[in-house]
Amino acid sequence: MIPSRLEPLLDAGGAPAKLAARFAESGKALYLVGGTVRDALLGRHDADTDLDFATDARPDEIREIVADWAHGMYLAGQAFGTIGAIHDGKIYEITTFRSEVYRADSRKPVVAFSDDIATDLSRRDFTVNAMAILLPASDETPQMIDPHGGLEDLVGNVLRCPLDPHVSFADDPLRMLRLFRFVSQLGFHPDPKALEAVSEMHARLSVVSAERIQVEFDKLVIGDNVGPALWGLFETGLADEFIPELTGLALAQDPLHRHKDVLAHTIAVVEKTSPDVAVRLAALFHDIGKPATRRIEDGDVSFHHHEVVGARMAKERMTALRYSNQMVDDVSRLVFLHMRPHTYKMGWTDSAVRRYVRDAGPLLPKLNELVRCDVTTRNAKRARSIERRIDELEVRIDELRKKEELDALRPPIDGNDVMLHLDLAPGPKVGEAMRMLYEHRIEHGPYTPEEAHSLLDEWWADQS
């Protein structure tokens, strides 16, 4: 019997039914598989969700079958058996029954195709992803294929491997990270045997490319249950393989959060932030400089300039994981600036507000969110004090925005005006003059071109 939640996917006029008819005409079977089935059963499927199919047809045969139906094709995955067919703006991934196995010393999987759905499903990561629906060629009833108890595990919120987890994780070591990605996304808990296998095999993640790890990790960090997932990475040792800085945080005690180590504080901060990749990564990395800057003097622990060290460490780690330059710059800047509001304990002058807005740039809303979420202390008085400080800062920003163009801080003249006024050729002096004018804008607010010329005259006299 097919659950009612799957009926929208199986409408006779829908794309799955039409595709199934095409495959049947070629003597091939077509199945809805994996996450498509899982999400539909969980009520997470919507009209914009891409659909995944499996078939006994080989990749060249898939291309022929969908050639006059698809408006375009993605062929990047063809070597691994996957053809992406584009129809009416949606992507339909159709994959030949397969088995993926990594060589012991290789980052690239060796793909062997098979001829039956049972083998294909047995080689999938978890039972909740190892269910399929055989799509009929006509008005016949679709068949639910669940050889490994995926429905039962779906009800029990369990992540269990169809085979021995040692075999599943050896086939594709990235599945160890995917285990915790689904913990984060679905709120499920791992089967104890799977956790044991990860603890024993985590070093095998080293054969997986940084790019594949990054894609999975991004999905993990923006999940609704990111906290348990991060604890799982730490407790099984998997974090050591791609973010070893996480383990180091467990060893550093924070004097401002005496009830918890820095790792516990960090995970609490990540859980408080909104599901934005940059904000969550910044929350994860915001204190990674603390172990390296930890000092004990007269019994007190300090982490002076940990934000400076942490920004550098975040940049190095994210570069190793092949993040884009923009994402690396954004996250490292958020880490670098996250302590800035705590330095303004005596109130916010106009110049201080301008510098903060300038340094944060377009990251200002994310930086303010990170600073607010960084408050996890049980000391209610201290928590209220920090919250008031951020409230005051945001009020000062709003007030100053009403008076001047706070988000476009620049002098009233440009480099060409400087050269004309001082009769200078292009060179370092022009840059020095512009920096002087810019600094005056930050410190004193808006001013006129005439005032800029007077400042230039005074500055040039000093230079002479």
Encode pLDDT of 79-128 as tens digits. Answer: 888 999 998 888 899 999 987 666 666 666 677 888 889 999 998 999 99
Is the pLDDT score of 352 beyond 60?
A: yes
The answer to whether the CB of 314 falls within 8 A of the CB of 332 is yes
Q: Which domains does the chain have, with CATH numbers?
A: 4-156 (3.30.460.10), 415-463 (no CATH)
Which of 46-55, 257-266, 402-411, 418-427 reaches the highest mean pLDDT? 418-427
In the chain, the amino acid numbered 220 is L
Hey, which residues does 52 pair with through a beta bridge? 93
Is the pLDDT score of 191 beyond 50?
A: yes
State residue 171's pLDDT score.
Answer: 87
Terminal alpha carbon distance of the chain: 90
What burial letters (b/e) apply to 73-111, b meaning 16+ CB within 10 Å? beeeebebbbbbbeeeeeebbbbbbbbbebeeeeeebeb
The DSSP code for 106 is -
Query: What's the mean per-residue pLDDT of the chain?
Result: 88
Average of pLDDT values for 21-30? 92
**How would residue 376 be classed by pLDDT, with cut points 50, 70 and 90?**
confident
Is the pLDDT score of 245 beyond 70?
A: yes
Distance (Å, rounded) from C-alpha 420 to C-alpha 135? 75
State residue 257's pLDDT score.
Answer: 47
Name the strand (E) or helix (H) holding 456.
Answer: helix 449-463
**How would residue 43 be classed by pLDDT, with cut points 50, 70 and 90?**
confident
The answer to whether the CB of 177 falls within 8 A of the CB of 216 is yes
State residue 74's pLDDT score.
Answer: 85
In the chain, the amino acid numbered 128 is V
Specify the range with the lowest mean pLDDT, choosing from 72-81, 292-301, 349-358.
Answer: 292-301
Where are the extended beta strands (E) located within 153-254?
158-159, 189-190
Q: What percent of the chain has pLDDT over 90?
A: 57
